[in-house]
Structure 1
Amino acid sequence: MNIAYKKTKVFISTALLAIALVGAGQSMAQQNKNQLPEIGTSAVSTLSLDKERIYGDAMMRQVRASMPLIQDPVLIEYINHLGNSLIRNAEGVNYQFDFFLINNKEINAFAFFGGHIGVHSGLLTMADNESELASVLAHEIAHVTQRHLARKLEAQTRTTPWTLAGMVTGVLLALVNPEAGMAALMSANAASAQASINYTRSNEKEADRVGMAILANSGFDPNGAPDFFKKMSAKYRYTSKPPAMLLTHPLPDSRITDSRNRAQAYPSRLLPVNLDFELAKARLRSRYSGEPKNNIKTFTAELRRQKYQIKEASEYALALAYFADKQYDAAEELLTELLDKHPNNLFFVDGLTDTYLEQKKYDKALTMLERLNLLMPNNQVVTLNYANSAIYAEKYALATNLLQDFLILNPGNFIAHDLLTEAYRKQDKPSQMHASQAEVYALLGLYPKAIDELHTAYNFASEKTLMKKRIKARIVQLQESENQLKRL
Structure 2
Amino acid sequence: MAEASTMRRGAAALLTRFLMLLGLSFAALVQPAAAQSMLRDAETEALFRDMSRPIIAAAGLRPENVQIVLLNDKSINAFVAGGQIVYVHSGLVMAADNANEVQGVIAHELGHITGGHIIRSDEGGRMAMGIVLLSLLLGAAAMAAGGGEAGAGIMAAGQQAAMGKFLAFSRTQESSADAAGAKYLTEAGVSGKGSLSFFKKLQNMEFRYAVPQEDSYARTHPLSGERVAALEQVYKTASSWDSPTDAKLEARFQRVKAKLSGFVDDPRQTLLRYPESNKSVPARYARAYAWHKSAYPEKANAEVDSLLKAEPKDPYFLELKGQILLESGKPREALASLRQAVAAAPEQPLISALLGHALIATEDKDNFAEAKQVLKSAIGRDNSNPFAWYQLGIVYDREGDHARAALATAERYNLEGNRMMALTSARTALGGIKSGTADCLRAQDIAMASRAAIADDKKTSDKVRKRLDDRPMVCAGA
Please give the TM-score of this superposition, normalised by the length of structure 2. Answer: 0.72
User: How far off its partner does 1:312 sit?
Assistant: 0.7
The question of 1:229 aligning with 2:199 is answered yes
Distance in structure 2 (CA, Å) of the matches to 1:355 and 1:214: 40
Counterpart selection for 1:276 from 244, 252, 263: 252
Distance in structure 2 (CA, Å) of the matches to 1:481 and 1:344: 46
Contact 1:373/1:382 (8 A) holds in 2: yes
**Structure 2 CA distance for partners of 1:257 and 1:469, relative to 1, 3 Å:** closer
Counterpart amino acid of 2:298? Answer: D
Mapping 1:11-22, distance limit 5 Å: none
Question: What residue is the counterpart of 2:476 in the other structure?
Answer: none
The question of 1:311 aligning with 2:311 is answered no
Structure 2 residue runs without a partner (length 5+): 1-18, 134-155, 213-217, 459-478
Counterpart selection for 1:200 from 148, 158, 170: 170
User: How far off its partner does 1:315 sit?
Assistant: 0.9
The question of 1:261 aligning with 2:233 is answered yes
Question: What residue is the counterpart of 1:385 in the other structure?
Answer: 354
Question: What residue is the counterpart of 2:47 in the other structure?
Answer: 78
* 3-state SS of 1:403 partner: helix
Distance in structure 2 (CA, Å) of the matches to 1:477 and 1:450: 9
**Structure 2 CA distance for partners of 1:473 and 1:380, relative to 1, 3 Å:** closer
Distance in structure 2 (CA, Å) of the matches to 1:432 and 1:207: 46
Question: What residue is the counterpart of 2:388 in the other structure?
Answer: 416
Contact 1:282/1:313 (8 A) holds in 2: yes
Distance in structure 1 (CA, Å) of the matches to 2:169 and 2:196: 22
The question of 1:135 aligning with 2:123 is answered no
Contact 1:117/1:140 (8 A) holds in 2: yes
Distance in structure 2 (CA, Å) of the matches to 1:443 and 1:426: 23
* 3-state SS of 1:237 partner: helix
Distance in structure 1 (CA, Å) of the matches to 2:305 and 2:411: 36
Counterpart amino acid of 2:91? Answer: G
Counterpart selection for 1:285 from 246, 258, 261: 261
Task: Note the alpha carbon deviations across 1:72-116, whole angstroms, 9 max, x for none.
Answer: 444344334433443132225598222222222111111121112
* 3-state SS of 2:347 partner: coil
User: How far off its partner does 1:362 sit?
Assistant: 5.2
- The range that moved more, 117-126 or 249-258, is 249-258
Task: Note the alpha carbon deviations across 1:3-40, whole angstroms, 9 max, x for none.
Answer: xxxxxxxxxxxx99x99xx9xxxxxxxxxxxxxxxxxx
Mapping 1:46-445, distance limit 5 Å: 63-64=33-34, 66-92=35-61, 96-154=65-123, 156-157=125-126, 160=129, 189-239=159-209, 248-266=220-238, 267-271=241-245, 272=247, 274-290=250-266, 292=267, 294-295=268-269, 297-298=271-272, 302-304=275-277, 306=278, 311-358=280-327, 365-393=334-362, 394=364, 395-427=367-399, 429-445=401-417
**Structure 2 CA distance for partners of 1:381 and 1:436, relative to 1, 3 Å:** closer
Contact 2:422/2:446 (8 A) holds in 1: no
Give the superposed CA RMSD.
3.7
Please give the TM-score of this superposition, normalised by the length of structure 1. Answer: 0.70
* 3-state SS of 1:88 partner: helix
* 3-state SS of 1:221 partner: coil
Distance in structure 1 (CA, Å) of the matches to 2:450 and 2:160: 42
Distance in structure 2 (CA, Å) of the matches to 1:83 and 1:122: 19
**Structure 2 CA distance for partners of 1:465 and 1:231, relative to 1, 3 Å:** closer
Distance in structure 2 (CA, Å) of the matches to 1:86 and 1:391: 41
Contact 2:321/2:337 (8 A) holds in 1: no
Contact 2:359/2:370 (8 A) holds in 1: yes
**Structure 2 CA distance for partners of 1:188 and 1:70, relative to 1, 3 Å:** farther
* 3-state SS of 2:295 partner: coil
* 3-state SS of 2:39 partner: coil
**Structure 2 CA distance for partners of 1:356 and 1:238, relative to 1, 3 Å:** closer
Counterpart amino acid of 2:229? Answer: T
User: How far off its partner does 1:364 sit?
Assistant: 6.1
**Structure 2 CA distance for partners of 1:215 and 1:444, relative to 1, 3 Å:** same
Distance in structure 1 (CA, Å) of the matches to 2:357 and 2:224: 48
Distance in structure 2 (CA, Å) of the matches to 1:92 and 1:361: 44
Q: Identity percentage over the alignment?
A: 22
Distance in structure 2 (CA, Å) of the matches to 1:401 and 1:218: 40
Task: Note the alpha carbon deviations across 1:141-173, whole angstroms, 9 max, x for none.
Answer: 111011112233345555657969xxxxxxxxx
Counterpart amino acid of 1:275? Answer: A
Task: Note the alpha carbon deviations across 1:344-368, whole angstroms, 9 max, x for none.
Answer: 4443222111133356765664444
Distance in structure 1 (CA, Å) of the matches to 2:300 and 2:63: 44
Distance in structure 1 (CA, Å) of the matches to 2:64 and 2:388: 22
Counterpart amino acid of 1:283? Answer: K
**Structure 2 CA distance for partners of 1:329 and 1:447, relative to 1, 3 Å:** same
Task: Note the alpha carbon deviations across 1:393-423, whole angstroms, 9 max, x for none.
Answer: 4422222222223323322223322332344
**Structure 2 CA distance for partners of 1:161 and 1:353, relative to 1, 3 Å:** farther
Distance in structure 1 (CA, Å) of the matches to 2:405 and 2:271: 43
Distance in structure 2 (CA, Å) of the matches to 1:163 and 1:81: 47
* 3-state SS of 2:58 partner: coil
Q: Which has the larger radius of gyration?
A: 2
Contact 2:108/2:182 (8 A) holds in 1: yes
Distance in structure 1 (CA, Å) of the matches to 2:335 and 2:205: 47
Task: Note the alpha carbon deviations across 1:284-337, whole angstroms, 9 max, x for none.
Answer: 2222111x4x2575266x342x4xxx8110111111122223333332232122
Q: Where do 4+ consecutive residues of structure 1 move more than 4 Å?
A: 92-95, 154-164, 358-365, 425-429, 462-470, 480-486
Counterpart selection for 2:422 from 420, 426, 450: 450
User: How far off its partner does 1:252 sit?
Assistant: 4.2
* 3-state SS of 2:79 partner: strand
* 3-state SS of 1:326 partner: coil
Distance in structure 2 (CA, Å) of the matches to 1:481 and 1:297: 47
